[in-house]
C-alpha cells in the first residue's frame, strides 16, 4: 500500500521530498516497534540493548559519553540507562583513575550471556523483517539514506 493511502491523505503529496521523509519516519517506527518487542522478552529496552551492544563491539570499558555519542543520544538519557543497567547487574561503572571526571562502564559476565542469548533471535528478526527485499535494493537504500544524512547534518 502506498504511503499516501496508508495515511488516507486526500491530496497527493506536495513534494516528493515530503513523501520520502514521511516514508522514512513511518518505516523507522515500524522497525523500532518490532525490535522493541523482541528485546522486551529479554527484559531489555532498545536503549539498554544498544549500550550493551556498543560495549561488546568495543571490547573495552568505555566512558559514558563515548557510548552516548555512538547512540546519537544526549547525555542525560545515557545517565539513566546506565543507572538501570548497573542496577540490573549488566554493567559495572568505575571512576577512571587518570581523569576523575570520567566514569567507565563495562559489561558483566551476566550481560555477555544475555547478549549471546539475544544474538540469534535478533539477527533472525533483522533478516526476516527485510527478507522480502533484494539485497541490491537494500544497498541502494543504505547509500541514499547516507546521502540524506550527510545533507541534513550540514
Partner DNA sequence: CCCAATTAATTTACATGTCACCTATCGACA
Partner DNA sequence: TGTCGATAGGTGACATGTAAATTAATTGGG
Query: Who contacts 110 (Cβ-Cβ below 8 Å, separation ≥6)?
Result: 89, 90
Q: Which is nearer to DNA, 81 or 115 (CB)?
A: 81
Query: Taking CB within 5 to 8 Å according to partner kind, which of a second copy, DNA, none is near residue 47?
Result: DNA
Contact flag: residue 31 with a second copy (CB under 8 A): yes
Give buried/exposed letters for 83-110 (b at 16+ CB in 10 A, else e). Answer: ebbeeeebbeeeeeeeeeebbbbebbee
Which residue of 75, 77, 117, 145 would you call a contact of a second copy, by CB under 8 A? 145
Give one DSSP letter per residue of 3-30, joined into a string: HHHHTT-SSPPS-HHHHHHHHHHHHHHH
Which residue of 36, 86, 103, 126 would you call a contact of a second copy, by CB under 8 A? 126
Helical axes 109-129 vs 46-58, angle rounded to 10°: 110
Residues that bind a second copy (CB under 8 A): 1-3, 6-11, 14-21, 23-32, 34-35, 56-58, 70, 72, 119-120, 123, 126-127, 129-133, 135, 137-142, 144-153
Q: Which residues bind DNA (CB under 7 A)?
A: 33, 36-37, 45-48, 63-66, 71-82, 84, 93, 99-104
Amino acid at each position: 500500500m502506498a504511503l499516501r493511502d496508508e495515511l488516507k491523505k486526500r491530496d497527493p503529496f506536495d513534494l516528493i521530498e515530503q513523501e520520502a521523509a514521511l516514508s522514512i519516519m513511518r518505516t523507522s517506527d515500524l522497525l523500532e516497534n518490532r525490535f522493541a518487542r523482541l528485546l522486551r522478552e529479554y527484559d531489555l529496552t532498545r536503549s539498554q540493548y544498544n549500550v550493551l551492544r556498543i560495549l561488546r563491539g568495543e571490547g573495552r570499558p568505555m566512558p559514558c559519553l563515548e557510548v552516548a555519542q555512538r547512540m546519537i543520544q544526549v547525555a542525560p538519557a545515557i545517565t539513566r540507562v546506565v543507572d538501570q543497567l548497573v542496577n540490573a547487574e549488566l554493567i559495572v561503572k568505575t571512576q577512571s583513575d587518570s581523569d576523575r571526571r570520567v566514569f567507565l562502564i563495562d559489561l558483566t559476565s551476566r550481560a555477555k550471556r544475555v547478549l549471546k542469548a539475544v544474538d540469534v533471535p535478533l539477527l533472525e528478526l533483522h533478516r526476516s523483517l527485510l527478507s522480502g527485499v533484494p539485497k541490491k535494493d537494500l544497498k541502494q537504500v543504505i547509500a541514499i539514506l547516507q546521502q540524506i544524512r550527510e545533507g541534513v547534518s550540514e
